[in-house]
Each structure stands twice: as C-alpha cells, then as structure tokens.
Amino acid sequence: MNQAAFLSALQKIFPERRLLTAPAALAAYESDGLTAFRARPLVVVIPETQEEVIRAVKACHEFGAPFVARGSGTSLSGGALPVKEGVVLALNRLNRILKLDPQQRIAVVEPGVVNIEITKAAAPFGLLYAPDPSSQPVCTIGGNVAFNSGGAHCLKYGMTSNHVLGLKVVLPDGEVAELGGDSLESVDADYVGLFSGSEGLFGIALEITVRLLPKPETYRTLLAAYRSLEAAGDAVSSVIASGLLPGALEIMDNLSIQAAEAAVKPGYPLDAAALLIVELEGERAQVEAEWARLKAVIDASRPYLVKVARDDEERMKIWKGRKSAFSAVGRLSPDYIVQDGVVPRRRLGEALAEIEKLSAKWGIRVANVFHAGDGNLHPLIMFDGREPGALRRAEELAGEIIALCIRLGGSITGEHGVGMEKRQYMPRQFSATDMDAMWALRKAIDPLELANRGKVFPEGEAPSLHRVGAHPLEQAGVISRE
Amino acid sequence: MSADLIGELQATVASSARVRPRGATTKMRAPANNCATLDMRRLAGVVDYQPTEFVITAWAGTPVAEVQSLLAEHGQYLPFDPLLAERGATLGGTIAANACGPERYRYGGARDFIIGARFIDGNGNLIQGGGKVVKNAAGFDYPKLMVGSLGRLGALVELTFKVFPKPEAYATLRVDGASLDAALALLPKLTNCPYDLNAIDLVIGAASQVAILIRVGGLAAGLPQRMDRVRSLCGGGDIVTGDVEAQLWRDAREFAWVADGMPVVKVPLTPGRIPALDARVSSARRRYSVGGNVAWIATSALDELDATLRSLDLAGLVLLNAPGDPRIGRRVSNAFAERVARALDPQNKFG
C-alpha cells in the first residue's frame, strides 16, 4: 500500500484535527478493554457524518487498507484492537438519536450513541432500551450490534440482536445496504440477525433501528446468601423449575463479593460463599403473585440470609455492586482476564467445581460472577503482569476453562464475542466444514478481508489450518502484548 | 438412521441443478418443474429436550404440534406462537416462512427464540450455526438468517429453540364496535402502558367495524385484577375466558376467519401506516395483528394488492393458497443479501 497516497486521500475527507497520525495521539487507540493486546494503527480518523464513514471505507477499499470501527473501546475480547498499520474509525461523534417514535416504540440511532442514552431519551415516554451490558454507561450501540452484547436480562429479553429491527450498513467496499425495517415482523431472510454479532467483519452499521419496551411497572429484587456455591446453583435450578421467568438471576462468589463491597459498598454480606440476586419485574399484580412463589422457592433453598430491596434506591445499590464486579476485581489484583464461557444451566455446579480445581492446580485466584439464568460464566482470572510468565499462565488457565465449557456442551462466548481473544478456540466449537463456510461468507462479503481483519478466525488466510498457541500475527511480530 | 437420511439429502443437493426443501406444504410454494424436492418430513422427531434448560432440539420436519404437546407436558411453550400447527405445519416450514402468530407480541418472534440450526447449503455441506445454550455469541448467526429465508438459502435439517414457561392462565378483553380510527387511537395507549399484554389484534369486520382483542396471560392469582385494569384503560369491553377465549386465538393462528382457498398475505408494517393501507384494501377481510405490526389480508386480487403495496412502499408475503413466488410488493435488491446467497448457494440451487 502506498501510505502517503492513502493518507493524502484521507486528508481530502478529514480535517487535520480529525485525522490522527502522531504517535502520542494514536497511543489511546492501541488497545481496547482487553489490554493484554496492543497494536498501533497507521491512522485514526474521527468521522462526524455517515457520509464521512462511507468515504473513508471507500478509500480503505481503494488502497487495500484494513480498518477497524471503534466506539468506546470497551470490548473484552479485543474486538476493537487495531490492525497494525491499518485504520481506526472512531465513531463516537456519530452520536445522534435520529428519531425516537414512542407511538411505534422505536428509536433510530447512530452507532456512536452510548447504550444508556437511548434509555434516557426514551424514559420520558415510559419506555426503555432493554439490553444492559455492565458497561452500558460508556459502551456504544454500534459496538453492541457488532458483538451482539448481552447483559443481566438476557434470559427473558434476549441479547442486542433481539432488539435491533433495522440497519443501514456500509459494506467493506463502501457499498451501502439497508437491512430489515422498523416493524417487529418481516418477510425476508433475517439479514439484520446475521449482521448483528458479526464482530465488524461484514462492515459498519451507520444507522440502527431498535425496539423500545415499556418500563416495567414494578421490580422485586432479592439477595440470598449461601454457604456454598452449589447451594446457590441449586436455588437457580429450583427457581427455573418452579415455572417462574425472572428478569435476572445472577450469582457472585466470595471473591467477587469482597471486591464489589470494597469498591462500591452495596451492602453485600461479606461472609457469604455465594450470593444470588433474583429480580422479578413486570406488572404489579403479576409480580406480586410471582413473588409469593419465589419467596417459597428461595426459603426452601436454605439461604442463611435474605435481603429484599425495599425501594428503588436499594435495588440500584444491589445492581451497582453486581455491575461493578469486573472493575472492582482490579482492587484485588493488578491484572485479570475476564472469561465469558457458557454451559448448560444444569451443569453450572459441575463447571464451578472444575474451575475451582483448575484454580487450585494453577495456583491462580479466580473470582466468579455469572449470569446464572442463562449459564453464562464470567470467571475473573487474577494475575500480576509484572511477574514473568504470569499472563501466559493465566491464559492457559483461561484456555482450560474454555475447553471445559465446550466439553459441557456450551459455548466459548456468551456475550463478549470471539474477537482476538478466543479466535484460536473457534475450531474447537465448530467443525472444519462450519469454519470453512463462515470463511466463505466472510470472503463473499469482504474479499479483501479489510473489515476488522484478524478477528474471529484463527488465522486470516486458511481457517482450516488452525493451531493453538501464540497468535500468528504475534509470532510474525505484527502485534504484541504486554 | 438420521445420518443416512441427511447424507442422502446432501447427495441430492450436490447432484441436482435445482432443489427445493418441502415440509408439510401447509403454506405456499408448489413444487417447481425441473427441481428436485427434498422431503423434509422424513426427518422428524425431538432430538433433545431438557425442560430445566428452557431448550428443545428437533429435526426440521417435526410437526410443530408434536413439539407443542411435549412442551405442554412440562408447562412450557414456544412463545413466538407458530401458525398453522393444527394443519400440520413443520418446524422447518415455520422458520423458513417466519410464521409467527399474535402472541409473538409479548416476548418476540421466531428470530428471538431460534438459537441453533443445522442446514444443508448449496454445496451440499451440512452446516451448524448457533448451539444448544440460550446465550451464545460465537460464530455468525445462521439460525436467525434462516428465519424468513423461504428455503432459498439452504434446507433446514435440525433446529434448536429457547422456550419459556407457559402462562398458567389467559383472559382476553374484547372491545367491539370501535371505528378503525378509534382503535388506532387506543393502540399506543396499550402498547406503551406497563401492563404485560400477550397479544393485541384488531379484527376488521364486514362493515369495517373493529373488534379489539387484547390477550393477557400469567399466574391465575393476579389475572382478574389485571383484566380490570385493561378494561378501564379501554373504557369498557367484555372479558372472555376459558375455551371461548382459547378459540379466539386458535382461529387467528389457523386462519379460521379466511374463506377456504382464499390467499392470505402477510404485510409487516408499523401502526402508523395502517390507515393508508386500510383505505386501499377495504373490500378484503383483514386483521391487524402483533400490536399493529402485521397486516393479514385475505384476497384473491393479488396483482392489485401487489401494486398497492408497491405504491405504499410495503413488502408482502403470500402465506396461503397461492402457487408461484410468494413475494409481492416492494422488492429492494440488497448487496448484502446477494453476497450472502453467493456464499451459501453459489450455484443458486435453492433460489
């Protein structure tokens, strides 16, 4: 690629202050929420209009420059990691809510809109945008769509893609396509569903039509403390078997409880081996009827302590503790890896016991917070990056947990995506035929492999020839990690 | 046995110039000429069902009714409310046609409950997408892509769904005699209120008077109180329960309101677009379902409806009782769709 000519083409689109090439300016974009990986891009451009995004993508296509779209850079799987010598399109300024139609219960937003801003805008109409990843005060909807982000309420309401009705996207060669629409129903293959969660490999979403839901009339949230993780896991099974459909079912283990308490003081019992959070939500009369049933199920599960949120403030406190858990673990350990495996719910107990064994075997502390309702584990593997070999050992432990999830019939990722972090594990979950078919799809949409090159697939050129170990780009010295 | 059968179907796809999967043919798509038919009903039966996982896996040729009765034994159901189950519709056909009923209003459509799919692509390969856990972000989401694909992107072999506990009791508020304007004025009050409504349908009668049907489901204990609130929001109406209530919605799912042999067209839209459409189809039997997000229009004047839909920039699908291409109304070519088809079916065998 002729870098000078390429940069000059970009300069025709972007003024100097929105085209960053100085090393100091690029440093902020070198990695995302998965800080173990870094790569310095050639250039960062900061579009303010959809047209500028389209023109930038066309320029990338013309010069064969790989590009990565980036919102707030909160990806925990390295999804927004730049390609060395490639382009980063920072989309935070495309943050307009283009339309909010309470009567049809939809909003049309640009990709740089922060998740929680949609709910804020919808709140005066008694509506909300349901998907609520822990990073919702900062993460952008464009990233949510690319990675099909989840959150604590997925069992009942699904993930991001379940709330996206329509997309305007720019494909990796600059062509623009409109997918889906603004109705809850459609009469075409679900291209919106396919684009969502494609991790930026199919192009960039420019406009996103999301559905809004009425804010539940009431919530009932309880905390139950147990002397063992197994007891909390059994309680989850009992809640599910009782025919209830809670909005959220979350478990935190003792390490996570300690961390959350130290960070935001949610009032969790510090001596609990496991904490279960159950939340019912909906129409008052229905929730009251469900509450009676839930109380009976929880009492029968023999917690040693039950706390019920008496008002919205207490409820928010419970959730603040849970949602702060990832960052709070930073108080217990200088570095950590967040895992995101999924197991069938009935095998949660088995999975946790195995993780405990692995933790003992490696001598590495692992905190567990997880979406118990949908079997989505979030082991937080703690290490000290200054210690030689510590990161590698933590990653090997993480790899064993991923293998465990696959063995138990689950998935390598529930909501963080494959990204850079788990790409080498894809061939363990999918057959060579599946991998080849996904690769063929990628190549049909993006023959030059420009859009988020290097993610999802074990290696760029030949997906069937996978291997486990250091990333091939790493071996080639193209990317590095600290 | 199923492996042999799948192998046989794969071989048929590989060796044929054109293929078409076929289920119970409860919907459209008569077999075309010069086209090999894949009889998917041979692949029938539930493969795996773990009630406590809220997950069921079955072969694509399984009758929906069979799945529903197994789920019902465990107090569970398919919340996307599949259509035509009593006529023998299969899971595969339901997904390919995206045939969801009125109650998809509450928790979502087929796209929101399909979590895994195995299908034979145009190369004759058996491809797996998604999985058997309710939450999964690994790999491209083929299962969703297949919803509404009309068998044009491959032959569905095995499907996995998330399921939910079935509401313990139902009741319906029926408000008769409203004008369409009045019904549409009431609609946003219903869709935006924090009451958990399972379905909202507007049934247009012979003289264009409207019956508003609002279905509520949940625990029996809270139901009477909830129905009273819905009734006061609507300013009146009759509360229907029991078999009569169930029949109201069975009639909707099975198209009992449509004359025998009359084509039925599905038109996705938003409530705000109903008046313009309704004025143009006032001689047809029709019903606005899913809280005003789907129009069902029964008419034999399909050419006329095609032109009407085009002029209103709406797309339609002839779901029942008409041979040939079921797609009418607006058709926009889409570069993304073309590339997807090229990857999955490079020789256009299914198209």
Whole-angstrom Cα distance, residue B216 to residue B227? 7
Amino acid A470: pLDDT: 44
Amino acid A430: pLDDT: 93
Q: Which helix (H) or strand (E) holds A298?
A: helix A284-300
Q: What is the CATH number of the domain that holds B263?
A: 3.40.462.40
User: Given a cut of 50, is residue A8 above it in pLDDT?
Assistant: yes
Q: What is the pLDDT of residues A392-438, one digit of tens each?
A: 999 999 999 999 999 999 999 999 999 988 999 999 999 999 999 99
- Do residues A103 and A180 share a domain? yes
Residue of B nearest to A219 (CA): B194
- Do residues A185 and A282 share a domain? no
**8 Å CB contact of B222 and A288:** yes
Q: Which of A327, A362, A388 is the last residue of a domain?
A: A327
Amino acid B1: pLDDT: 65
Amino acid A127: pLDDT: 97
Amino acid A274: pLDDT: 95
- Do residues A204 and A236 share a domain? no
**8 Å CB contact of A155 and B121:** no
Looking at the structure of chain B, the number of domains it has is 2
- Do residues B199 and B75 share a domain? no
- Do residues A323 and A348 share a domain? no
Does the residue B238 lie in any domain?
Answer: yes
- Do residues A101 and A130 share a domain? yes
Q: Which of A297, A327, A357 is the last residue of a domain?
A: A327
Q: Contacts of residue A75 in chain B, CB cutoff 8 Å?
A: none
User: Closest partner residue to A243 among B131, B165, B225, by Cβ?
Assistant: B165
- Do residues B154 and B300 share a domain? no
Q: What is the CATH number of the domain that holds A393?
A: 3.30.70.2740
Q: What is the pLDDT of residues B145-193, one digit of tens each?
A: 999 999 999 999 999 999 999 999 999 999 998 999 999 999 999 999 9
Amino acid A466: pLDDT: 34
**8 Å CB contact of B98 and A187:** yes
User: Given a cut of 50, is residue A164 above it in pLDDT?
Assistant: yes
- Do residues B132 and B208 share a domain? no
- Do residues B181 and B308 share a domain? yes
Does the residue B349 lie in any domain?
Answer: no
- Do residues B69 and B179 share a domain? no
Amino acid A465: pLDDT: 35
Q: How confident is the model at residue A326 (pLDDT cuts 50, 70, 90)?
A: confident
Domain ranges, residue B98? 2-165
**8 Å CB contact of B141 and A194:** yes
Does the residue B341 lie in any domain?
Answer: no
User: Closest partner residue to A194 among B140, B290, B291, by Cβ?
Assistant: B140
- Do residues A20 and A146 share a domain? yes
**8 Å CB contact of B134 and A426:** no
Nearest-neighbour CA in chain B from A388: distance (Å): 32
Q: Measured between CB atoms, does A124 come within 8 Å of chain B? A: no
Mean residue pLDDT of chain A comes to 91
Q: Contacts of residue A438 in chain B, CB cutoff 8 Å?
A: 139-140
- Do residues A128 and A112 share a domain? yes
- Do residues A413 and A289 share a domain? no
Mean residue pLDDT of chain B comes to 95
**8 Å CB contact of B133 and A202:** no
User: Closest partner residue to B270 among A183, A416, A438, by Cβ?
Assistant: A183
Q: What is the mean pLDDT of residues B241-264?
A: 96
Q: What are all long-range contacts of B218-221, with beta carbons under 8 Å and residues at least 24 apart?
A: B218/A283, B218/A286, B218/A289, B218/B167, B218/B168, B218/B169, B219/A286, B219/A289, B219/A290, B219/A293, B219/B167, B219/B168, B219/B169, B220/B168, B220/B169, B221/A285, B221/A288, B221/A289, B221/A292
Amino acid A190: pLDDT: 97
- Do residues B151 and B53 share a domain? yes
Q: Measured between CB atoms, does A214 come within 8 Å of chain B? A: yes
User: Closest partner residue to B136 among A169, A414, A433, by Cβ?
Assistant: A414
Interface test with A, best of B6, B55, B134, B273 (most A CBs within 10 A): B134
Nearest-neighbour CA in chain B from A309: distance (Å): 21
Q: Contacts of residue B226 in chain A, CB cutoff 8 Å?
A: 283, 285-286
User: Closest partner residue to A178 among B193, B334, B342, by Cβ?
Assistant: B334
- What is the DSSP annotation of A371-423? EGGGTEEEEEEEE-TTSTTHHHHHHHHHHHHHHHHHHTT-BS-SSS--TTTTG
- What is the DSSP annotation of B238-299? EEE-HHHHHHHHHHHHTTTTSPTT--EEEEE--GGGHHHHHHHSTTSEEEEEGGGTEEEEE-
**8 Å CB contact of B343 and A290:** no
- Do residues A311 and A378 share a domain? no
Q: Which residue has the tokens 């043919």?
A: B25
List all residues of chain A from 359 to 398 with a beta carbon under 8 Å from chain B. Answer: 371, 374-376
Among the listed residues A248, A471, B109, the one whose alpha carbon sits nearest the alpha carbon of residue A480: A471
- Do residues A233 and A165 share a domain? no
Q: Measured between CB atoms, does A28 come within 8 Å of chain B? A: no
Nearest-neighbour CA in chain B from A21: distance (Å): 32
Amino acid A421: pLDDT: 87
User: Given a cut of 70, is residue A309 above it in pLDDT?
Assistant: yes
Q: Measured between CB atoms, does A254 come within 8 Å of chain B? A: no
Does the residue B334 lie in any domain?
Answer: no
Q: What is the mean pLDDT of residues B104-116?
A: 97
Distance from chain centroid for Cα B111? 10
Domain ranges, residue A368? 333-421
Amino acid B32: pLDDT: 67
- Do residues B69 and B159 share a domain? yes
**8 Å CB contact of A158 and B343:** no
User: Closest partner residue to B148 among A171, A190, A412, by Cβ?
Assistant: A190
User: Closest partner residue to A342 among B135, B164, B221, by Cβ?
Assistant: B135
Does the residue B154 lie in any domain?
Answer: yes
List all residues of chain A from 296 to 315 with a beta carbon under 8 Å from chain B. Answer: none
Q: Contacts of residue A411 in chain B, CB cutoff 8 Å?
A: 131, 133, 135-138
Residue of A nearest to B121 (CA): A437
- What is the DSSP annotation of B202-224? EEE-TTS-EEEEEEEEE-GGGHH
Amino acid B278: pLDDT: 97
Does the residue B159 lie in any domain?
Answer: yes
- Do residues B325 and B243 share a domain? yes
**8 Å CB contact of B339 and A444:** yes
Q: Which of A298, A327, A356 is the last residue of a domain?
A: A327
- Do residues B192 and B324 share a domain? yes
List alpha helices for chain B, DSSP H.
Answer: 2-15, 64-73, 91-97, 104-107, 110-113, 142-146, 180-192, 223-234, 242-253, 274-280, 302-311, 335-344
Q: How confident is the model at residue A328 (pLDDT cuts 50, 70, 90)?
A: confident
Q: What is the pLDDT of residues A43-100, one digit of tens each?
A: 999 999 999 999 999 999 999 999 999 999 988 888 999 998 899 999 999 999 999 9
Amino acid A480: pLDDT: 46
- Do residues A114 and A177 share a domain? yes
Looking at the structure of chain A, the number of domains it has is 4
User: Given a cut of 50, is residue B242 above it in pLDDT?
Assistant: yes
- Do residues B27 and B75 share a domain? yes
User: Closest partner residue to A150 among B133, B135, B221, by Cβ?
Assistant: B135
Q: What is the pLDDT of residues B25-78, one digit of tens each?
A: 888 765 667 889 999 999 999 999 999 999 999 999 999 999 999 999 999 999
Amino acid B30: pLDDT: 59
Does the residue B336 lie in any domain?
Answer: no
Q: Measured between CB atoms, does A427 come within 8 Å of chain B? A: no
Nearest-neighbour CA in chain A from B42: distance (Å): 24
- Do residues B151 and B174 share a domain? no
Whole-angstrom Cα distance, residue B294 to residue B267? 6
- Do residues B226 and B271 share a domain? yes
**8 Å CB contact of A184 and B291:** yes
Among the listed residues A28, A37, A27, the one whose alpha carbon sits nearest the alpha carbon of residue A419: A37
Amino acid A11: pLDDT: 97
Q: Measured between CB atoms, does A447 come within 8 Å of chain B? A: no
Q: What is the pLDDT of residues A455-473, one digit of tens each?
A: 999 974 333 333 334 444 4
Q: What is the CATH number of the domain that holds B122?
A: 3.30.465.10
Interface test with B, best of A185, A234, A242 (most B CBs within 10 A): A185
Residue that wins the pLDDT comparison between B210 and A460: B210
Amino acid A163: pLDDT: 98
Interface test with A, best of B339, B345, B347, B348 (most A CBs within 10 A): B339
Does the residue B348 lie in any domain?
Answer: no
- Do residues A381 and A428 share a domain? no
